[in-house]
Amino acid sequence: MVENYLPILLFVIVGLGMGAVLLAAGFILGPSRPNDEKLSPYECGFEAFEDSRMKFDVRYYLVAILFIIFDLEIAFLFPWAIVLDEIGLFGFASMAVFIAILLIGFLYEWKKGALEWE
Amino acid sequence: MAVLTELIWTLTKIIAIVVPVILSVAYLTYAERRVIGAIQSRNGPNRVGPMGLLQPFADVFKLLFKEVILPANANRFLFLVAPLLSLMPALAAWAVIPFSEGLVLSDINAGLLYVLAMTSLGVYGVIIAGWAANSKYSMLGAMRSAAQIVSYEIAMGFALVGVLMAAGTLNMSGIVQAQAGGLFHWFWLPLLPLFVVYWISGVAETNRAPFDVAEGESEIVAGFHVEYSGVAFAVFFLAEYANMILISGLAVIMFLGGWYSPFHGMPLLGPLFDWVPGIVWFVLKIFLFLYLYLAFRATFPRYRYDQIMRLGWKVLIPVTVVWLVVVALLILAGLPPWFN
């Protein structure tokens, strides 16, 4: 079964190579006449005020944390979904408890307003 | 020696997948402009070559001969790696897509998991591109795109869990085979809410209209790839369109019976269409979804960012969770013809 992953590795390499070849072709075929104005960051024609690596909204951080939690939940759901036929009602009930606990967390976030973007 | 021939044979097969995908991307851009043109009662590009059919190549060559600008404050290495990182997953995910019965490069057991992993990798391209350019617009666009992609990935993941429950396997061919037997045996019917959620998330995942705030050209220039020009921009463009085709292909495999004919197993109509090769059905169904992408872009106004996040978290996720429970109960009850 593992040897089935060799074509995938090759495919990944081909994918990266493809992009690299395109970029290289662009650098070879295209002109290169840089000047200060051309290389300055785009800010609608104005000079850039400050560095762009600035503070950002905490909500992006919240979304990222929620994503990690829910992605983990999905990771737990995958094996359960595949063997659902074999584990029957007991397996279903155990997962129902797990999802219920996560849903309480989800409701808490919802009520707290972690999902609001105004 | 045997290893070498094996290697060359595999590479040939990879090329046989990549080249049609790239050509499809080229003609998808052409189709997009023609279809949207037709919807708005005007002609799309129709000057370059017969009916404008050479337009995509003209675009590619134009971009190849343009200057690639490396902004002064950019992190040069990451700036150039980002487009590769977004193109690679969009192409590599095709390794496990079955085009017809047995017509798949690598028939791995964990096919769906692999595809999910690959589509998740795409977000690195977005965020690295936005950060490396060192421009405020890039940075903001990247944050928005990444948060949006990540949010809709949850809804998409839940929808896929439903498919897994129904099919009982992660293997892509296995998922299609579980839907054998014509239009009404496909999973779109028992999993209809999940199908709708999957498709909406798919459109949002690829940053396409009506969820394209991150690159809303009339609002905030071009999002995470403002600073990209020439061929570096073309690579992002390629990745976006390859992703659209990939998402359409996955929708076909998981909900519309992959390579099966819609009349499979029906009296009269079934035998009439038996001679059509599976890959033709597969491609036709992909066309259907690609057309939907274009039609959405031509007909829907853009969502606001807070509306997008609300739809993802507060509508799609609850809908999928409820329907997962319903599907689980249907499976335990053994509802034919889908679950038995």
Q: Tell me which chain A residue has its CA closest to the CA of residue B106.
A: A4
Of A14, A39, A116, the CB nearest to B18: A14
Write down the pLDDT at residue B275: 85
Q: What is the pLDDT of residue A1?
A: 67
Predicted pLDDT of residue B219: 60
Read off the amino acid at residue B19.
V
How many helices (DSSP H) and strands (DSSP E) are in chain A? 4, 0
The pLDDT, as a whole number, for residue B220 is 60
- Calculate the average pLDDT of chain A: 87
Q: How far apart are CA B217 and CA B230, in angstroms?
A: 18
Decide: B338 and B223 in contact? Cβ < 8 Å. Answer: no
* CATH class of the domain comprising A2-112: mainly alpha
Q: What percent of chain A has pLDDT over 90?
A: 50
The rounded distance, in Å, linking the Cα atoms of A113 and A117 is 9
Contact at CB, A18 and B87, closer than 8 angstroms:
yes
Locus of tokens 């890959």: B279
Distance from CA of A117 to the nearest CA of B (A): 5
Question: Residue B170 and residue A78: Cβ atoms within 8 Å?
Answer: yes
Residues B231, A26: C-beta atoms closer than 8 Å = yes
Which chain A residues are closer than 8 Å to B135 by Cβ? 41-43, 48, 52
**CA of B39, closest CA in chain A: separation in Å?**
32
Residue B95 DSSP class: G
pTM score of the predicted model? 0.94
Give me the mean pLDDT over the A43-48 stretch. Answer: 73
A85 to chain B, closest Cα gap in Å = 7
Q: Tens-digit pLDDT profile for chain B (340 aa)?
A: 788 998 999 999 999 999 999 999 999 999 999 999 999 999 989 999 898 999 999 999 999 999 888 887 778 889 889 999 999 999 999 999 999 988 899 889 889 999 999 988 888 988 898 888 888 888 888 888 888 899 999 999 999 999 999 998 999 999 999 998 888 889 998 899 999 999 999 999 888 878 887 776 656 666 777 778 888 889 988 999 999 999 999 999 999 988 998 887 777 777 888 888 989 999 999 999 999 999 999 999 888 888 888 999 999 999 999 999 999 988 888 877 777 6
Q: Alpha helix locations (H) across B168-277?
A: 172-177, 192-205, 230-255, 269-272
Single-letter amino acid code for the residue at B91: L
Averaged over A57-63, what is the pLDDT? 86
**Residues of chain A neighbouring B73 (CB-CB closer than 8 A):** 41, 51-52
**Which of these, B17, B153, B145, lies nearest to B82 by C-alpha position?**
B145
B313 and A85: CB-CB below 8 Å? no
Tell me which residues of chain A, numbers 76 to 105, contact chain B at a CB-CB cutoff of 8 Å: 77-78, 81-82, 84-85, 88-89, 92, 95-96, 99, 103
Residue B217 is predicted with a pLDDT of 64
- How many residues does the structure list for chain B? 340
Annotate B71-110 with b (16+ C-beta within 10 A) or e (fewer). bebbbeeebbbbbbbbbbbbbbbbbbbbbbeeebbbbbeb
The mean pLDDT value for A8-21 works out to 93
In angstroms, the CA B170 to CA B108 distance is 9
pLDDT at A13: 95
The pLDDT of A35-53, averaged and rounded, is 75
The pLDDT confidence band at residue A67, using thresholds 50, 70 and 90, is very high
At position A39, the amino acid (one-letter code) is: L
- Spatial distance between the Cα atoms of B21 and B88, rounded to a whole number of angstroms: 13
Contact across the interface for B136 and A27, Cβ inside 8 Å: no
The answer, yes or no, to whether residue A2 has pLDDT greater than 80, is no
For residue B266, give how far its alpha carbon lies from the nearest alpha carbon of chain A (Å).
Answer: 28
Per-residue confidence (pLDDT) for residue B289, from 0 to 100: 95
Q: What whole-number distance in Å separates Cα of residue B260 and Cα of residue B191?
A: 18
Chain B CB contacts of A14 below 8 Å? 11, 14-15, 18, 91
CB B114 within 8 A of CB A8: yes
Q: Which residues of A touch B219 (CB under 8 A)?
A: none
pLDDT at B98: 94
> Distance (Å, rounded) from C-alpha B297 to C-alpha B295?
5
- CB-CB under 8 Å, B230 with A42: no
Measured between CB atoms, does A55 come within 8 Å of chain B? no
Q: How far is B99 from chain A (nearest CA, A)?
A: 16
Q: Which residues of B touch A84 (CB under 8 A)?
A: 165, 168, 328, 331-332
